[in-house]
Structure 1
């Protein structure tokens, strides 16, 4: 049975806003839905994601995150950053939005459901952060990843991406990817554990289904507790998690870069 979440997807598929979602039994599919702009993350998109994720449905066992069009997500919308700095040179608008980003990524990683990112095309900056917040990540063999913030005069401080990247790939590899800002393909992403599986673009749906089928059959309490245990074991390796400072770091550096 398909049901729609208010404001996002009509049962016949009518779109509203830049995020749409469908519920199919125990599976909730959430799609970044602004393909004309490469699914760039805007404040409106963050609001849409928060509306969906803030109060999890206890009947949902799997949450699948994907992107419409040619790319998963081309990162944050830098036009909004410029507009916010024009309105307030201290970066207040950036602080508000980046704090929302942290809450969105925490809602994904802390969700009681198993979260799956299905990545195709480019996953840049904030797009990579959203994918890394998921428990499982499958990518098309043509997927490309990059963290370009440093070249843009910004810190790598969005959605807790830095501590998550260090936790998943290791500090040395994370340092190299961030300092150089180079792109890396799906094969390397798999070697780095950014992706757990790589398939053809046409095989993404089946790869997600192959993970989903056994997960939805697991007893709800056991699944919820197992997810919580995984998160608790990950926590000690992230005691220095500075993501609570992301909003201040991004706003301060963006404002300082603007003045130079």
Structure 2
């Protein structure tokens, strides 16, 4: 999913990403198309490095995925490897902390962050999109939160509090507990997406958001984003996101031990 005007741009290739700077817009593409852009710790490290090293002049960040899907979720083989190395879940906790830091970096960035979703967005892919300020999806996009079916709590990158804040508790309970798939129009009705367009119009939809953002005074835009984040945080009686890596590690470790004891 490369914007037409960026087809010949000077892309910077990382191991799991590629990036391009177009005027004051930073494009970040998850770039593991053969693996559905599954999120690994290497990808999280590269995302965090790119977001931390962002040029201060960048006013908008566009997050997309290469190939047929935006992101098929986390790479579960890493969990198995971590548990084989440390059955108490130390590696799982470290991975969860990475995920939280990346999603917080997207949300807290002074630049306006935009998720451009096509194909499937599953689990961690939904979390990465929800961490962005604005989200546009192709009409054919689908979404799913399969964590419970996989024996995991819905605790990746601060996903659950963002879902509760954007969607509302009643509908979140239903999609999390059932793990069912939902389409782009239902995602829009729940505010998981703010706009749905034909896939070939995704770039135009992103441009329609970016153009006015680039005209906004930098200081006013930065303060407004900070206010959004502050007022949203103020509605939380408690923020358990810092505990999520511990929760995931505890559940995964306990499940593994339980299976071994049978």
* TM-score normalised by length of structure 1: 0.94
In 1, Cα distance between the equivalents of 2:11 and 2:222?
A: 30
Q: CA RMSD of the aligned region, Å?
A: 1.2
For residue 6 of structure 1, what is the aligned residue in structure 2?
Answer: none
SS class of match (2:13): coil
SS class of match (1:95): helix
Q: Is the 8 A contact 2:12 2:20 kept in 1?
A: no
* TM-score normalised by length of structure 2: 0.93
Q: Is the 8 A contact 2:16 2:31 kept in 1?
A: yes
In 2, Cα distance between the equivalents of 1:16 and 1:225?
A: 32
For residue 219 of structure 1, what is the aligned residue in structure 2?
Answer: 217
For residue 107 of structure 1, what is the aligned residue in structure 2?
Answer: 105
In 2, Cα distance between the equivalents of 1:239 and 1:164?
A: 14
SS class of match (1:64): strand
Count of residue pairs brought into register by the alignment: 251
- Per-residue CA deviations over 1:29-51 (Å, capped at 9, x if unaligned) read 11100000000000100010011
For residue 47 of structure 1, what is the aligned residue in structure 2?
Answer: 45
In 1, Cα distance between the equivalents of 2:127 and 2:53?
A: 21
For residue 194 of structure 1, what is the aligned residue in structure 2?
Answer: 192
SS class of match (1:238): coil
Q: Is the 8 A contact 1:167 1:238 kept in 2?
A: no
For residue 168 of structure 2, what is the aligned residue in structure 1?
Answer: 170
Displacement of 1:237 in angstroms is 1.9
Unmatched runs of 5 consecutive residues or more in structure 1 = 1-9
- Per-residue CA deviations over 1:99-151 (Å, capped at 9, x if unaligned) read 00000000000000000000000000000000000000000000000110000
- Per-residue CA deviations over 1:201-242 (Å, capped at 9, x if unaligned) read 101000000000010111110110111111111112233221
